[in-house]
Amino acid sequence: MSQLLEIAKTAALTAGSILKNGFRTSCTMHSKQGIHNLVTEYDIASEEVIISIIKQAYPEHSILSEECGHIDNNSDIQWIIDPLDGTVNFAHGIPIFSVSIAAVQNGEPICGVIYAPMTDELFYAEKGQGAFLHDFPIHVTDTKNIEDCILVTGFPYDVKDNPENCIGHIAGILCLGIPIRRLGSAALDIAYVASGRFDGFWEVSLQSWDFAAGLILLKEAGGSIVNYDGSPFTISKGGTFLATNGYIEKAMIEALKHADILYPRVTQ
Ligand code: IPD
Ligand code: CA
Ligand code: CA
């Protein structure tokens, strides 16, 4: 295991224990953009400890973290951090949230860790080394028919102002009559696809900290992430994508396209 991954794991576990200790104690919620886009003191405490662990090991690296933004050291390695993915769940006492940490080199994730403190599950992957849950290799499902799938999705905070972004898609996919879940932590959603609990995930308008670790985890677990039109997805291209076991990718692209026809967007 590389030192990068060791540091990412240590940071995620340390931050996770702060979140676990703070869970269901009183916390102060502040709205960011939109009333349900929250930040608590635990997002900040988690972020502080992650950044201090990374800085101690790699003072020369750059960092992008959700709450504090960019620390640009002009390095080809950038850490991308979501210190608490699932803040709304956390703030409402729902035990589904995670810490997500990735190291990215020239735009490509080279290692990623997603830690779910309440289930004590540590998902991690390194480029070319496979994906793991604790020390066990994980793999995507081999479900080939979309009718046999269980899928997960999420909705952006601006859905009230931009319903056309995602309402048609959820309606269209729901009409396939298959189970759909919304957990509330995009990083965990992708980790669950990587570990075979879900067959696929889709969401619009995510930020790189929501999915950078998931990207390498899923790839190393045998899955694939593409744009809604099937073209290759890269971190810099934004946050609207489809993450699947690969087998159902085509069917999901068709289902999303069909949903666009059934529920056309007024603006594109
Ligand atoms: C949110 C979660 C949620 C997704 C939102 C994200 P946050 O991240 O990942 O599942 O639907 O789009 O913004 O705000 O809890 O870090
Ligand atoms: Ca997030
Ligand atoms: Ca967050």
Per-residue pLDDT reduced to its tens digit, 120-133: 999 999 999 999 99
Give the residues across from 114 on adjacent strands: 100, 123
- pLDDT, one tens digit per residue, over 7-51 is 999 999 999 999 999 999 977 777 766 666 777 899 999 999 999
To which residue do tokens 């985890």 refer?
Answer: 217
**How crowded is residue 14: how many other Cβ atoms within 10 Å of its Cβ?**
16
Using the structure block, give the residue that is written with the tokens 């390498």: 216
Domain 3-137: what homologous superfamily? Fructose-1,6-Bisphosphatase, subunit A, domain 1 (3.30.540.10)
The CATH number, out of the four listed (2.60.40.10, 1.20.970.10, 1.20.810.10, 3.40.190.80), of the domain defined by the range 146-262: 3.40.190.80
Distance 247 CA to ligand 2 centre (A): 27
Distance between CA atoms of 75 and 72, rounded to whole angstroms? 8
Domain locations in the chain?
A: 3-137, 146-262
What is the edge-to-edge ordering of all strands in the sheet holding 180-181? Answer: 180-181, 151-153, 200-203, 241-244, 224-226
Q: Kindly indicate the confidence band of residue 268, based on its pLDDT and cuts at 50, 70 and 90.
A: very low
Q: Give the mutation target among 39, 210, 211, 241 for probing the ligand 1 site: most ligand atoms within 8 A of CB.
A: 210
Give the integer Cα–Cα distance in Å for 120 and 212. Answer: 21
| Whether 266 contacts 182, CB under 8 Å | no
Average pLDDT, the chain: 92
Which ranges constitute the DSSP H helices of the chain?
Answer: 3-22, 41-57, 87-91, 167-174, 186-194, 208-220, 249-262
The amino acid sitting at 109 is P
Question: Is residue 75's pLDDT more than 50?
Answer: yes
Assess whether the C-beta atom of 81 lies below 6 angstroms from ligand 1: no
Q: From ligand 1's centre to the CA of 184, what distance in Å? A: 6
Give the model confidence (pLDDT) of 148-203 as tens digits: 999 999 998 777 777 667 888 888 898 889 999 999 999 999 999 999 999 999 99
CA 228 to each of CA 30, 45, 99, 252, 253: distance values in angstroms, whole numbers, following the listed order: 33, 35, 26, 9, 6
pLDDT of residue 264: 73
Q: In the sheet where 108-116 sits, what is the strand order?
A: 69-71, 62-65, 77-85, 98-105, 108-116, 121-126, 131-133, 136-137
Q: Is the CB of 184 under 6 A from ligand 1?
A: yes
pLDDT mean over 69-85: 96
Comparing CA positions, the residue from 128, 95, 98, 107 lying closest to residue 5 is: 128
Per CATH, 3-137 and 146-262 having the same topology is answered: no
How much is the pLDDT for 237? 77
Q: 98 CB under 6 A from ligand 1?
A: no
Which ligand does the CA of 165 lie closest to? 1
Question: 206: Cβ below 6 Å to ligand 1?
Answer: yes
